[in-house]
Amino acid sequence: MKTRTIRQRSALEPTGKARLIIPVAQVLVVLVLLLPMIWLYLGSVRTDLDLDKGGLLPHTFTLANFRSVFDEGFWTAIRNSILVASVVAIVTTTFAALAAYGLARFSFRGRGPIMLVILAGQAIPGLVVLVPLVVALQRLHLTNSLVGLGLVYLPLGLPVSVYMLRSALLARPAEVEESAMVDGCSRVGVVRRIVIPLLRPSIVAVGAFTFTLSWGEYLFALSLLTGNSVKTVPLALQDLFSLYTLPIGTILAGGVLVSFPVVVIFLAVQRHLVSGLVAGATKG
Amino acid sequence: MAGLASLDDASTRETRAGAHAQRRLGPRSRWWSPGTRKALVPYGLTGPAVLVIVVVALAPAVYGVWLSFTNWQFLQSTTAHFEGLGAYRTIFHSAEFWSDLGHTWFWTAGTLVIEVGVGLPLGLLLSRPTRVSGIATSFLLLPWITPFVVVSYSWLYLLGAGGPVHSLLQALGIVGAATPLASTTLALPTLTVISGWKGLPFMTIALLANRRSIDNGLYEAAEVDGARMFQRFRYITLPLMRNTIIVMSVVLGVLAFYSFDLVWLLTQGGPGTSSELTGVMIYSQFFLNGAPGIAAAIGVSMFVMLIIVSSGILALTRVNSREGR
């Protein structure tokens, strides 16, 4: 006999007639809201003749659209985006984890103001610092360079990441770490053996989050990059579109290539990510 | 405005850890002692993050304020010189700036109306745990996480003449044979609806989480007292979700206020300047007009305006993050 864990019924769980109606309504409403995305994904494997006929469901299946996207030199852009997004994700996550550990496990003079400065980064929108940043990077000859772009991306997800990792640490008692230190374990040892394993799910979620932020960023990429060799995926997609000679299917395939990694990464870590982001937005 | 209040939830735990550190440090340790080196550890830990924020966000913001007082034009000089309020005078006398500002407030308000108007019922619907509620919620978030470029080009084709959504709207008699994006009256409302659709998932998730956190005892008591469904919504659900609705509206409102991608990719502010937002004007003043002074002045004006409005809203509605939690 199969054993099942006994689950307490939530009061919100529908009963009676609603048991049938509510799940159906949930699926239907979400499907309607997702129609544009569904159309995009299905459209990327349709021939142009089929797309012209309209409708949502494909009558044909082809991978030719993806082939022509790569013929347009999409590989370079994908490589550039992976490079920038990975380096930014690693640096941001490292800095955020260090800061979160410092803020959560030490009490020191200036802790409040330091937290405030880090969170102020969240309150300054990209559009406000666009002009000064581009002017400064021009002076430093860092426009049209992936280094300059990566630099600009560093503060994008940093405040939220610090907030999420700090909350994750505060949710765990510090006693284990303290007693390990009393027993003669060094601070570094504590971090390596206790803190990092403890934070691992949150670190992965934060890394994924910061990766997706810079992967699809458009405004600064548009403002800083012009050379074909340094373009990231949003600009490559824009190039596909502005050629005007390419059929719709190719653009849709390009769109799928740009959004697919983000979707996969998100669905993989969303359990750890969503609650943190919501908390970061409403309490931050 | 982000996170002023998150500072005060320092748990007793960390203070205890701090007390430990204090004791180890001793009262008479000197600056070169190992104790002092230990005391510097937290500054070393937070240093890199603070450095990034100061160098790449705060310093540029200050530099932007300075640029806004220069009225610098690429064509006239290669360097910026202080010129007082010249750039501000230029934008405040520009009809384009005021009409863009009107568009931006319309866009922000419209986006929020859609996000709350659809997000609240949808959040309540998805808060009911069923076999499908989890997966439906995950997939609902797809438009929110999909990059703006992808979403924009999809909508461009969906709304293009003969495209699926255009055909539907035409059959309903809402639009004519041309795409609504080419109409001076319909372009901005159309873009606003797309903006609301893009931000809707995040609002929905926040409201869903809020609804699930409400103690069910309240509803049971109300039911015993004979409260009908609408009354339970009106007197329990709504008041208890009010803070989340307001805080999330401010967060998503700020995002909408600083929009650029969607409008730039779909209409570039056109036809004419009928769908131009102040964010688009910053970009075009800088890159197309070569006037960084003016672009910076628009940025600073938007920032000041938004600080005033959002702190006004939070003060008027008496929300602080403490009671919102």
- Cis amide leading into B271 (omega within 30): yes
* The predicted structure's pLDDT at residue B322: 47
A57 and A96 together in one domain = no
- What structural domains does chain B harbor? 12-59 (no CATH), 89-324 (1.10.3720.10)
Residue with the bigger pLDDT between B11 and A276: it is A276
pLDDT tens string A124-133: 889 999 999 9
Do A221 and A234 contact (CB within 8 A), yes or no? yes
CA distance A3 to chain B (A): 19
A151 and A277 together in one domain = yes
**What is the C-alpha to C-alpha distance for residues A61 and A58, in angstroms, rounded to an integer?**
7
Distances (CA, A) of B215 to B229, B240, B270: 16, 10, 49
* The predicted structure's pLDDT at residue B146: 94
Let me know if residue A192 belongs to a domain. Answer: yes
B250, B232, B251, B249: which is closest to B124 by C-alpha?
B232
Q: Tell me if A37 and B143 make a contact (CB, 8 A cut-off).
A: yes
A149 and A39 together in one domain = no
**What is the C-alpha to C-alpha distance for residues B32 and B25, in angstroms, rounded to an integer?**
12
A277 and A147 together in one domain = yes
A101 and A209 together in one domain = yes
- Nearest CB to B279: which of A13, A127, A133? A127
Let me know if residue A153 belongs to a domain. Answer: yes
B 78-117 residues with CB < 8 A to A? none
Let me know if residue A228 belongs to a domain. Answer: yes
Count of domains forming chain A: 2
| pLDDT at residue B16 tops 60 | no
A120 and A221 together in one domain = yes
* The predicted structure's pLDDT at residue B213: 87
Q: Which of the residues in chain A have pLDDT under 70?
A: 1-9, 281-284
Query: The domain that contains A109 carries what CATH number?
Result: 1.10.3720.10
A159 and A49 together in one domain = no
* The predicted structure's pLDDT at residue B285: 94
This prediction's pTM: 0.88
On whether any CB of chain A is under 8 Å from the CB of B142, the answer is yes
Burial bucket for residue B150 (CB in 10 Å: 0-12, 13-18, 19+)? buried
| Total count of residues recorded for chain B | 325
Let me know if residue A67 belongs to a domain. Answer: no
A142 and A35 together in one domain = no
| pLDDT at residue B168 tops 70 | yes
CA distance A40 to chain B (A): 6
Let me know if residue A171 belongs to a domain. Answer: yes
Residue ranges making up the domain that contains A186 = 92-234+272-283
Q: Tell me if B324 and A283 make a contact (CB, 8 A cut-off).
A: yes
Long-range CB contacts (within 8 A, 24+) of A186-195: A187/B41, A191/A101, A195/A101, A195/A169
Of A44, A62, A80, which residue is a domain's last? Answer: A62
Instruction: Indicate the range of A132-136, B76-80, B84-88, B195-199 predicted with least confidence.
Output: B76-80
* The predicted structure's pLDDT at residue B10: 42
Let me know if residue A122 belongs to a domain. Answer: yes
pLDDT tens string B238-296: 999 999 999 999 999 999 999 999 999 999 998 999 999 999 999 999 999 999 999 99
Average pLDDT of the segment spanning B32-58: 89
- Nearest CB to A152: which of B56, B167, B321? B56
Let me know if residue A36 belongs to a domain. Answer: yes
* The predicted structure's pLDDT at residue B325: 37
| pLDDT at residue B18 tops 70 | no
Of A17, A46, A62, which residue is a domain's last? Answer: A62
Let me know if residue A108 belongs to a domain. Answer: yes
Token pair 């200050």: residue:
B62
A125 and A34 together in one domain = no
Q: Tell me if A128 and B1 make a contact (CB, 8 A cut-off).
A: no
Average pLDDT of the segment spanning B97-111: 97
For A36-50, b where at least 16 C-beta lie within 10 A, e where not — what string?
bbebbbbbbbbbbeb
On whether any CB of chain A is under 8 Å from the CB of B248, the answer is yes
A160 and A107 together in one domain = yes
Q: Tell me if A178 and B20 make a contact (CB, 8 A cut-off).
A: yes
Do A123 and B1 contact (CB within 8 A), yes or no? yes
On whether any CB of chain A is under 8 Å from the CB of B74, the answer is no
- Nearest CB to B146: which of A19, A126, A262? A262
Mean pLDDT (chain B) is: 86
A97 and A225 together in one domain = yes
Band of the pLDDT at B15, cuts 50, 70, 90? very low
Whole-number percent of chain B with pLDDT over 70:
88
pLDDT tens string A149-177: 999 999 999 999 999 999 989 988 888 88
A113 and A158 together in one domain = yes
Do A118 and A158 contact (CB within 8 A), yes or no? yes
Read off the DSSP letter of residue B235.
I
Token pair 């550890």: residue:
B41
Amino acid at B252: L
**What is the C-alpha to C-alpha distance for residues B16 and A44, in angstroms, rounded to an integer?**
58
Distances (CA, A) of B135 to B83, B139, B200: 57, 6, 17
Residue with the bigger pLDDT between B114 and A274: it is B114
**What is the C-alpha to C-alpha distance for residues B159 and B154, in angstroms, rounded to an integer?**
9
